[in-house]
Structure 1
Amino acid sequence: MKKASGFEIVAARCWNLLNEGKPFTPIFTVSVYALYHMGSWGDGAFWTQFGLGLLAGLPLFALYFHYDFPLFLRNYLWFPVVAALILWRDAPLELGLYALAIGLFLFFTIYFWGTFYYHLRIGTSWWNFKRFWKLVLKNSDSTSGNAQEQLPKFLLLLFVVDTAGAKWADASAAGGDFGWGTYLLFLAGTALFAWVMHRNLFDWKPKEMPGYTTPIEAPADRPEGKVFVLVIDGMRKDRFEEADAPFLKKWRAAGTEYTQMETVYPARTVVCFSSMFTGTYPREHGITSNMVWKLGIKVESIFDSLRKVGKRGRLLGIAHLIDSMGDDVESVTAVMHNDKADRNIMERAKLIMAEQDPDLLVVQFIATDQTGHSMGALYGEYRQKIEEADALIAEFVAWLTERGDADDATFIVCADHGQADGIGGHGHLDEGERYVPFFLHGPRVRQGVKIDAKQSLVSVAPTLSYLLGAPLPSHSRGPVLTDAFE
C-alpha cells in the first residue's frame, strides 16, 4: 500500500483551489474573462480595462469569499443579479461571455471533474457524465460543484468586471459614466442583504459547547487496552441502516450506540477529523475547510496528549489530513481504483500495527465517500461500499484478535460526516450529512445500550484521553462519553 507521494500532497492542495467553492469563484471568473478576450492579450488597453474591472469587482469578490450562502440561502443569490441588470439596464451584454462561462462550468464539473478526473484517480467509468450532470445540478455542498450557488455568483462578478471595466476605461463622457454612486449603493445593499440573510435565516449551525471538558479519571484498577477508531468516511446514517453489514450491526447491538451523534460545521473531511481529534471547533483549531491556507492545527491534538504519557497514536488517512495533523498521519495514496482502496488501507493498517504497535490507531476508510462523490450517495454502488467496509473491518478485527491486539481493546466505529444528495455533498449540513453512525464496542463498553441524547464528534478526543489515561488536549470542549462504559 503506497504512501501519498510529495507530488500527490501538493497536487491535492492545488486541487482544493478548484474543488472548494470559495477559492473557485474568483479563479474561475478571472480565467473565463481572460479566455474570452484571449485575442486582445496583445493590446495594452485590454489589460487596463481588465485591471479596472477587477478593481471595481474586488469588494464583491471579497463578499462572496466571506459568505457561502449555504443550502436554501443560495436561492437568494439571484436577487443581486437581477438588481444589477436593472440598475445598469443600458449596459451592452456580452452574451458570448456568459455562454462561455456557463459552458466551461458545466464542462469542468460534469466532464473534467465527474468523468475524466474520477476515471484517472479512482477508475470511474468514462460514461460517468451521464449521471454526474444530475448530481451537479442538485448538489448543495460548499464545493465548486454546487451549480445553484456558483452560477449566480460568477455571472454577477463577470457582469461587474466587464461593465465597469469597459465604462471606466472609456474616456468619453458618454461611455465613461458607470454610475459609481449607484455602484457603491449596490455594494452596500448587497453586503447588507448578505448579512441579513445569514443573521436571520442561517439557523442550523450546531451549537458549541460553552466551556472546556471536565477532566474525568478512569478507575485505577481498570486494564488499559489499545483503542481503535474506525472511520468510514462519508457514511450516511440511513444508508448504513439499509446496508447488509452484519458484523458492524452485531457489534453495535452488543455495544453502546449514540443515536444522535452530530458532526461539526462545516462538515468537510479535514474539518471533521481536526475537531474529532482535538475535541474543539474550527474557530479554535483553525481548520475551516478542506482548503487549508495555513498548515497545522492551532491547538493540541490527542496525539500530543498521548506523547505526554509516553504513548503513541497514528492516523492512517489520505493526503488531505496531513495539512492539519502533520507527522501524526500515516498517509495513503488516494490514486487507486476505488474497488481496491479500502482493502489496501486495511492491509496498511495491519502493517502499522505489526511494525509500530501504537496505543491508538485511527483508520480512515475512503471508498464509501469517494463513491458518493463520484456516483451519488442514493445509488446502489454507495451502499455496496458500506457493505465492503463491513467485511474488511470484520477481517481486520479477526487479524487483531489472532495477534492479541484486540484483548481489552476498545473500538469506536463512526463516520466523520454523512452525505447529501448530489455529488455526495457535505459541508453545509443538508439532509443526510448532520447525524452520523457512532457506536463503541469492547470489554469495557456497556452492552446493548442506546443513548438518544444529542452528542457531538468533539467528544471523541476527550473520550480517547479517558480510555488511554492521557491528559485532555488543550482546548477540548466535548464531554467524555462516560455513559458508554461500565
Structure 2
Amino acid sequence: MKKASKVEKVAARCWNLLNEGKPFTPIFVIGTMVLYHLTDLGNVENVKQLLSSFLLMLPLLVIYYIYDYPLFLRNYLWIPYVGFLIIWRFADLSLIALAIGLYFFFTVFFWGTLYYHLRIGTTWWNFTRFWKLVLKNSDSTSGNAQEQLPKFLLLLSIWQYAYEQIEGGWQTLNIASFVMYYTGVFLFSFVLHKQLFDWKPNVIPTYTNNVDIPARALNDKVIVIVIDGMRKDRFEQANAPFLKSLRKNGTEFTQMETVYPARTVVCFTSMFTGTYPFEHGIKSNMVWKLGIKVESIFDSLRKVGKTGRLLGIAHLVDSLGDDVETVTAVMHNDVADRNIIERAKLIMKEQDPDLFVVQLIATDQTGHSRGVLYDEYIQKIEEADALIQEYVEWLEEQGKLKNATLIICADHGQADGIGGHGHLDEGERYVPFFMYGPAIERGKRIDEKQSLVSLAPTIAYLLGAPYPSHSRGPVLIEAIRKREQHEETKSDRVFTRVQ
C-alpha cells in the first residue's frame, strides 16, 4: 500500500479549507460575490466599490467565524437574517438563487459525487442520496446546509446591499444602523452560546495523578486499533463476533466519551497526548500551525528508549508529524482497510514498535459518503471485524502478543446525514472502547463515564513510560489486573482463536 505523497498531504490541507465549516463560509461568500460581479471587475471603480462594501460586511463575517451555532442553535441563525429583511427591506433574488445553486452544486455534485467517486470509488449516482444527507447533516463542516444557508444568505445580502448603496456615495449609508445591527447580532450570539451551548464534555482540571508509573513495564507491546467513525449503536447491531469476543473476555468501558470538537485530527491528538484542544492546539481538521504544543505518548516512549508508530491518513501528520506512517486515502473504499492491514503487518515485521496504532478508515468514509443509517455502514464494521481477527491471529503467529495489550476503540461516532461528527450530536459522543490481554481484567464492564484523553496515560502505564507532559486523563486502572495476578498469567497464551 502506498504512503500518502507530498501532493496528497498538500491536497488534504487545501480540501480542509472547503470541508471545514469555518473557513468555507468566507471562501464561499467571497467566491459567490466575485462570480456575481464578474462582468463588473474590469472597472476599477467597481472593484473599489466591491472592496469597500466587503469591509462593511466584515464584522459580521468575524462574528460568524467565532460563533459556530452548533446543533439546534443553528435554528436561531434565521433570526438575524429575518431582522435584516425587516430593517433594510432588501433581497437580491438573483444573488440568492446563484448562492443556493452554487452551494448545492458544490456539496451534492462536486463533493458528494465527483470527489467521492474519484477518491474512494463511490457510484456516479451518489447524488441521489447525498442531497438528503446534506440537508440532515449537523456537523461542523461545509456540508451542514442548515448552518451554512442562513449564514451565507445574510452575509451576501448585507454585502450586496452595501455595494449598491455605496454606488450613490458613502453619505447614502447609515453607518450607525450597521453598527447597531452588528452589535445586536454579536450580543444575540454571545447570549445564545453562553446560555444554551452546554453539552461540551467537562474538562479534567488536574494532570494525570491517580496512579504512579510502575517500576517496570507491565507489557512488552500495546497495539491500538482505531476504527475511525464507528458509531457505538451500529457496532452493537453489526455481526462482529471477533471484536465482541475480545470485549467479552476483556474490559469494556461502556461510557467512553470523545472530545469536542469531535473531528478526526482533534480526537487523535487528544487520545495520544492525554489532553484537550485548548492545550495541545489542534482545534479542527484544518491545522493552521503544524505540530502540537505538548508532548505526545510517542515523546514519552522515546524517553525510555521505546518506539511508537501510528499508521494513519495524511491529515494526522499535521498534528503528530514524523510519528505517523501515512497511508494514501485515494483508493477504492472496498480495499482501503485490507490495504491498511497488509501495511500494518509490514510495519510490525520491519520496525517492531513497542506501541503500534492502526487507523482503519473504511467505516468512516462510508458514513461520510453514504450515511450511517444504511446497510453499507454496518457492512464496513463487519469487514473490519474480519480483518482485525486476521491481523491479531497473524500477530500471534509472529510471537508479537506474548505479553501485549490490545485496545479497540473509535475516535468518534457519527451522526445522521453525511456521517456527521464534530458538534457531538446523537451518535457521536460515546464510542466503543475495550481492552484485552494478559494484564487486563477478563469479563469486566466499567459503566462510569470516562474520556478518550485517558488513552495516552494508560498506554504509558502499561509500557512503563512517563505520562505525556500535559496528560490529564486518569489511567484506566480499573481494567488492569493486580500485579500478582499479572505475574501468574503473563506467559500464558492469551490471544486464542475466537470460536
**C-alpha distance in 2, partners of 1:26/1:194?**
18
1:340-395: per-residue Cα shift (whole Å, max 9, x none)?
00000001101110110100000000000000000001100000000000000000
Contact 2:405 2:439 in 1 (8 A): yes
**Equivalent residue for 1:214, pick from 209, 218, 228:** 209
* Structure 2 counterpart of 1:23: 23
Contact 2:263 2:422 in 1 (8 A): yes
State how many pairs are aligned. 481
Which amino acid in structure 2 is aligned with residue 406 of structure 1?
L
**Equivalent residue for 1:163, pick from 152, 161, 164:** 161
1:133-172: per-residue Cα shift (whole Å, max 9, x none)?
0000010000000000000000000011111122123228
Structure 1: gaps spanning 5 or more residues: none
**C-alpha distance in 2, partners of 1:223/1:463?**
11
Contact 1:342 1:389 in 2 (8 A): yes
* Structure 1 counterpart of 2:303: 308
**C-alpha distance in 2, partners of 1:223/1:316?**
24
**C-alpha distance in 2, partners of 1:471/1:371?**
38
**C-alpha distance in 1, partners of 2:200/2:213?**
33
* Structure 1 counterpart of 2:131: 133
**C-alpha distance in 1, partners of 2:172/2:206?**
55
* Structure 1 counterpart of 2:230: 235
Displacement of 1:221:
6.8
Of 33-42 and 274-283, more deviation after overlay is shown by 33-42
* Structure 2 counterpart of 1:154: 152
* Structure 2 counterpart of 1:143: 141
* Structure 1 counterpart of 2:497: none
The yes-or-no answer on 1:269 pairing with 2:264 is: yes
The yes-or-no answer on 1:321 pairing with 2:316 is: yes
**C-alpha distance in 1, partners of 2:334/2:216?**
44
**C-alpha distance in 2, partners of 1:217/1:184?**
56
TM-score by length of 2: 0.95
**C-alpha distance in 2, partners of 1:266/1:366?**
19
* Structure 2 counterpart of 1:178: 173
Runs of 4+ in 1 over 6 A off after TM superposition: none
Which amino acid in structure 2 is aligned with residue 10 of structure 1?
V
* Structure 2 counterpart of 1:6: 6
* Structure 1 counterpart of 2:331: 336
**C-alpha distance in 2, partners of 1:449/1:225?**
23
**C-alpha distance in 2, partners of 1:61/1:187?**
10
1:266-293: per-residue Cα shift (whole Å, max 9, x none)?
0000000000000000000000000000
**C-alpha distance in 1, partners of 2:99/2:216?**
66
* Structure 1 counterpart of 2:407: 412
**C-alpha distance in 1, partners of 2:218/2:97?**
66
SS for the counterpart of 1:314 is: strand
The yes-or-no answer on 1:434 pairing with 2:443 is: no
1:419-451: per-residue Cα shift (whole Å, max 9, x none)?
000000000000000000000000110000000
Displacement of 1:177:
2.1
Displacement of 1:110:
0.5
SS for the counterpart of 2:419 is: coil
* Structure 2 counterpart of 1:49: 49
**C-alpha distance in 1, partners of 2:198/2:215?**
44
**C-alpha distance in 1, partners of 2:85/2:216?**
73
The yes-or-no answer on 1:260 pairing with 2:255 is: yes
**C-alpha distance in 2, partners of 1:242/1:179?**
60
Displacement of 1:225:
1.9
Contact 1:276 1:461 in 2 (8 A): yes
* Structure 2 counterpart of 1:358: 353
* Structure 2 counterpart of 1:94: 92
The yes-or-no answer on 1:480 pairing with 2:475 is: yes
**C-alpha distance in 2, partners of 1:198/1:168?**
34
* Structure 2 counterpart of 1:369: 364
Change (3 A) 1:328 1:215: farther
1:163-215: per-residue Cα shift (whole Å, max 9, x none)?
1122123228xxx5232111100000000000000000001000000110016
Displacement of 1:223:
4.8
* Structure 2 counterpart of 1:59: 59
SS for the counterpart of 2:42 is: coil
Contact 1:229 1:411 in 2 (8 A): yes
* Structure 2 counterpart of 1:424: 419
Change (3 A) 1:181 1:395: same
Displacement of 1:404:
0.3
Change (3 A) 1:221 1:322: closer
Contact 2:20 2:141 in 1 (8 A): yes
Which amino acid in structure 1 is aligned with residue 154 of structure 2?
L
Contact 1:52 1:169 in 2 (8 A): no
Displacement of 1:40:
1.2
Structure 2: gaps spanning 5 or more residues: 482-499
Displacement of 1:219:
4.8
Which amino acid in structure 2 is aligned with residue 331 of structure 1?
T
SS for the counterpart of 1:114 is: helix
Of 38-47 and 314-323, more deviation after overlay is shown by 38-47
TM-score by length of 1: 0.98
Contact 1:48 1:169 in 2 (8 A): no
